[in-house]
């Protein structure tokens, strides 16, 4: 119950715009890489393809990391024991894109928009714990960061994908790069 209340309060604060978030320019690819590495050690079956180029976006670091965690944990939760979760992060045009796709239980295509709203459960048989707020919270964070999120599934039993698009930020907005971007230019990526 405590976790539910905390998530509900955080969601309410986000959509009401009551809490000022400190935005910075950060490398979405690096952020995704760290979150995937953190989960991959305990969860087999996650395959990540992350661009080696910087993905500069504007946002709150902890909030965007939470979006990545929510999407990864959702894919793990609704995937069979033989997990195959694919994570991609790349730039295209003027946006950075993050996609978390699984071959799990999926959902009816008509629920795609509804899943990003509070208290929506696509499959109550497989949703035995949680607040039914995490995807709504992720959506609120993405929107507050100037981006968009969408859920996709060809149908029940056919897996699901969650795609986040964030506008690319000027990597050098006022003559000073963020430390993440500066470090990403010096280090080779794998």
Each residue's pLDDT tens digit, 65-98: 999 999 999 999 888 877 789 999 999 999 999 9
How many CA within 13 A on the CB side of residue 113? 1
Confidence of residue 15 (pLDDT cuts 50, 70, 90): low
Alpha helix (H) ranges present in the chain?
2-16, 28-40, 61-77, 134-144, 179-186
pLDDT score of 175: 39
Mean pLDDT over 167-172 rounds to 81
- Please state, in angstroms and rounded to a whole number, the distance separating the CA atoms of residues 43 and 110: 30
SS3 112: coil
pLDDT score of 184: 39
Cβ–Cβ contacts within 10 Å for residue 36, how many?
21
pTM over 0.85: no
- Please state, in angstroms and rounded to a whole number, the distance separating the CA atoms of residues 7 and 164: 20
pLDDT score of 37: 93
Question: Structural domains in the chain?
Answer: 2-186 (3.30.565.10)
């Amino acid at each position: 119950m405590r976790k539910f209340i905390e998530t509900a309060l955080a969601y309410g604060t986000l959509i009401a715009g009551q809490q000022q978030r400190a935005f910075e320019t950060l490398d979405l690819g690096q952020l995704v890489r760290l979150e995937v590495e953190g989960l991959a050690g305990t969860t087999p079956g996650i395959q990540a393809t992350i661009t080696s180029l910087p993905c500069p976006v504007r946002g709150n670091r902890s909030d965007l990391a939470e979006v990545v965690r929510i999407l990864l944990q959702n894919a793990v939760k609704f995937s069979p024991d033989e997990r195959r979760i694919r994570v991609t992060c790349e730039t295209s045009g003027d946006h950075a894109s993050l996609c978390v796709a699984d071959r799990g239980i999926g959902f009816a295509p008509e629920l795609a928009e509804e899943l990003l709203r509070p208290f929506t459960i696509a499959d109550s048989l497989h949703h035995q714990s949680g607040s039914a707020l995490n995807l709504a919270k992720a959506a609120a964070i993405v929107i507050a960061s100037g981006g968009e999120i969408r859920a996709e599934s060809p149908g029940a039993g056919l897996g699901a994908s969650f795609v986040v698009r964030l506008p690319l930020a000027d990597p050098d907005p006022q003559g000073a790069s963020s430390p993440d971007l500066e470090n990403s230019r010096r280090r080779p990526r794998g």
